[in-house]
Amino acid sequence: MSFYGVELSSRLLLGTARYPSPKILAEAIEASQAEVVTVSLRREAAAERGGQSFWSFIRGLGGRVLPNTAGCHTVAEAVTTAHMARELFDTPWIKLEVIRDDETLQPDVFGLVEAARVLSEEGFEVFPYTTEDLGVADRLVEAGCRVLVPWGAPIGSARGLNNLYGLRALRAHFPEIPLVVDAGLGVPSHAAAAMELGYDAVLLNTAVAEAGDPVAMARAFALAIEAGRTAFAARPLEPRDMAAPSTPVLGRAALGN
């Protein structure tokens, strides 16, 4: 699997927020085997040291970072944030979020497409956080996106894949574009389901960070993602309405009267 020409062996991308401690975050990243972690940026006063120590921590991990534009509500905010992120983290990758609704954190897909176009033209490699809408996905690809990041469910909701049909249709319409389900997953079976649909990867944060044991949960997700991907490659059965006996009927002993 590759994103913008970068080959990756792990299909799990992990967020770095909301862990009980930096130590547990580091252990969770290791247990997840993630090669890409998501990061963000926030205001920092001159006397504060939080950003600097987090920066040292991230450098120490040695993996790739995918900065986000979380919290941005307009194209201008998202574009400026992307520029700041590119300089801070020294990467053209940006997980582009342009949020419209504060209750569901549903993307403003109109602003998203516009920001994706501006950033792609400026050389960014955009990972757009979007819905499963096919028309929007098509516009994002037209705008220059070579990865799509549809939601499973609202961020942090732990609901799993809200629109299985929509996600399946998206996969079918964009067989060549890497697709990453981001947001709304709660348990490893949700991630396995996404992988069984043929999705290329899963991006997680809260489901791991706020689990009772984040390190064990990171490992559980990694196993589920590997299982789901292996199952997809093995071509699963199609569901059917009636039973189909698994034991052959031919040659069965006649034991009735």
Partner 1 sequence: MRIFINGEQHDVAPRTLAQALEELGYGGKKIATALNGRFVAAAARPATALADGDRLEVVAPMQGG
Binding mask 54-93 for partner 1 (x = CB under 8 A): xx--x--------xx-x-----xx--x--xxx-xxx----
Task: Decide if residue 32 touches partner 1 (CB under 8 A).
Answer: no
Instruction: Tell me if 6 contacts partner 1 by CB under 8 A.
Output: no
The reply to whether 23 belongs to the active site is: no
Part in contact with partner 1 (CB under 8 A); list of ranges 44-52, 189-197, 212-220, 227-235:
44-52
Catalytic annotation, pick one of 95, 139, 171, 229: 95
Provide the minimum distance between the beta carbon of 86 and partner 1 in the complex, in angstroms, as a whole number.
9
Smallest distance, partner 1 to C-beta of residue 41, A: 4
CA angle centred on 174, ends 171 and 177, rounded to 5°? 105
Answer for which of 19, 124, 199, 221 binds partner 1 (CB under 8 A) is 19
Q: Does residue 96 bind partner 1 (CB under 8 A)?
A: no
Determine the 3-state secondary structure of 126 from DSSP. Answer: strand
Which of 51, 63, 92, 154 lies at the binding interface for partner 1 (CB under 8 A)?
51
Choose the binding region for partner 1 from 14-22, 133-141, 234-242, 244-252 (rule: CB under 8 A).
14-22
Number of residues near partner 1 (by CB under 8 A): 39
Strands 2-3 and 6-7: antiparallel
- Looking at beta carbons, which pairs linking 86-93 to residues 24 or more positions away fall under 8 Å? 86/124, 88/41, 88/55, 89/39, 89/65, 91/64, 91/65, 91/66, 91/67, 92/4, 92/123, 92/124, 92/125, 93/3, 93/4, 93/64, 93/65, 93/66, 93/67, 93/124, 93/125, 93/127
Q: Is 37 exposed, middle or buried (0-12, 13-18, 19+ CB in 10 A)?
A: buried
Q: Which residues, 6 or more positions from 127, have their beta carbon under 8 angstroms from its beta carbon?
A: 3, 66, 93, 94, 95, 96, 145, 147, 149, 180
Closest distance to partner 1 from the beta carbon of 68 (Å): 5
What residue ranges bind partner 1 (CB under 8 A)?
15-19, 25, 38-48, 50-52, 54-55, 58, 67-68, 70, 76-77, 80, 83-85, 87-89, 155, 183, 205-206
Q: Which residues are catalytic?
A: 95
